[in-house]
Amino acid sequence: MKLSCNQEKLNKSLNIVNKIIGNKGTLPILNNILLSTDNGRLKLASTDLEIGITTWIGAKIDSEGSITVPAKVMTDFVSTNDDEKIDLVLKDTTLELISTKYNARIKGIESSEFPLIPEIKNSKLLTLDVKNFQDVIKKILFACAIDETRPVLTGVLFKVKKGELVLAATDSYRLAEATIKLESKADREIDVIVPSRTMLELSRVLSGATKSLDVYLEENQILFSVDDTQIISRLIEGSFPDYTQIIPKEHNANYKLLTNELSKAIKMASFFARESANNIKLNFSENSLKVIAVSPQLGDNITTINMEKSGEDLEIAFNAKFVLDILGVIEESSVNIEANGKLQPVIIKPEKNTKLLYVVMPLRVNE
């Protein structure tokens, strides 16, 4: 293998595939990136056996070949290199990197030992707007469970039905749901669970994308293709909980507040709630909200902010972090809180965006 490529493009591609390096001591090859010539381009790929990322860049190919090299040293060398062009020359299993000022030889492992990354070619499901989809991912991903006791909760529901894509995430204490209207009809209706880590890596790739995102589905694999990059991932087996049952269909109280003011008030209270499992109280009364936190060791805090109220007064307790996570991704200036009593699920949603909603379970506390 002998080729020449642009340093900036090579660095960008290495940073894409470097994100999922396996770090599994039992399989050293998973710490490597696959480099191979492919129809006049340089292909870079990595996998941790659950997710695979492949990307291509233009290159001047003098001779064909392939090798895997340690991801970290390759990425560090190229990112620090400030020469415009880098030549890659493979001799046996050593890859030489040559530029105007720098020269390095990196010992690799035969590409034949690199795990096969599955391909999906003929089962395109739908096409999505990159900017809109990336924005939605950021708004729901925080609600996925971290604890793998229930694996289905560590992923994002990816559901296509009646011209809409519904994405939902829950850890059983809070729920985030977003709906995207599809510009073109999907190939078929689906209901699958995509690992949250896959969605996170996809969001990173989309940040620099310029074209539409194509989604392919085949058996237990989902593939996202944008520009010159593909991410393929195993799906999580099992059924996502029927979360629609906990979303209140009606409410007896609605409180409208300024997002920034509410966020600051809850953040202030959280400083005093650290020793009580982040437990805070929200007292909705007349035209004001009191956010209250009490700590036997630290003291207490009360912040009062204005609101618009329709319905009953209410005092309800929450985990401060759960509410702050929601407010942190709402970009509108006002939010609505819909409630049905101190022990019933509460809806928090932007005032204008009807395609986005959050549900938080209140805490049961002693009076």
Q: How many domains does the chain divide into? A: 3
One domain for residues 11 and 106: yes
pLDDT for residue 292: 96
Residue 334 lies in a domain: yes
Consecutive sets of 10 residues in the chain, 367 residues long: mean pLDDT of each?
97 94 76 96 96 97 97 97 97 97 97 92 87 95 94 97 94 96 84 96 91 92 96 96 94 96 97 91 95 91 96 95 97 96 95 95 80
Diameter of the chain measured on Cα atoms: 78
Are residues 99 and 17 in contact, defined by beta-carbon separation less than 8 angstroms?
no
Residue 202 lies in a domain: yes
pTM for this model (two decimals): 0.92
One domain for residues 349 and 265: yes
Residue 366 lies in a domain: no
Q: Which of 80, 113, 146 is the last residue of a domain?
A: 113
Residue 205 lies in a domain: yes
pLDDT for residue 24: 57
Residue 92, domain CATH: 3.10.150.10
pLDDT for residue 92: 95
Residue 118 lies in a domain: no
One domain for residues 132 and 234: yes
Q: Is the dihedral of CA 298, 300, 305, 309 positive or negative?
A: positive
Domain span at residue 234? 124-243
Q: Which of 113, 138, 153 is the last residue of a domain?
A: 113
One domain for residues 214 and 299: no
One domain for residues 206 and 263: no
One domain for residues 292 and 218: no
Distance from the first to the final alpha carbon of the chain: 73
One domain for residues 356 and 252: yes
pLDDT in tens, 200-209: 999 999 998 8
One domain for residues 152 and 238: yes
Q: Which of 243, 264, 280 is the last residue of a domain?
A: 243
pLDDT for residue 366: 65
Residue 225 lies in a domain: yes
Please enumerate, as own/partner, the contacts of 48-51 that have beta carbons within 8 Å and a separation of 24 or more: 48/20, 48/21, 48/22, 48/23, 48/24, 49/22, 49/115, 50/195, 50/197, 50/233, 50/234, 51/20, 51/195, 51/197, 51/198, 51/201, 51/231, 51/232, 51/233, 51/234
Sheet holding 94-98, edge to edge: 60-63, 2-6, 85-91, 94-98, 103-107
One domain for residues 107 and 14: yes
Residue 365 lies in a domain: no
Residue 204 lies in a domain: yes
pLDDT for residue 219: 85
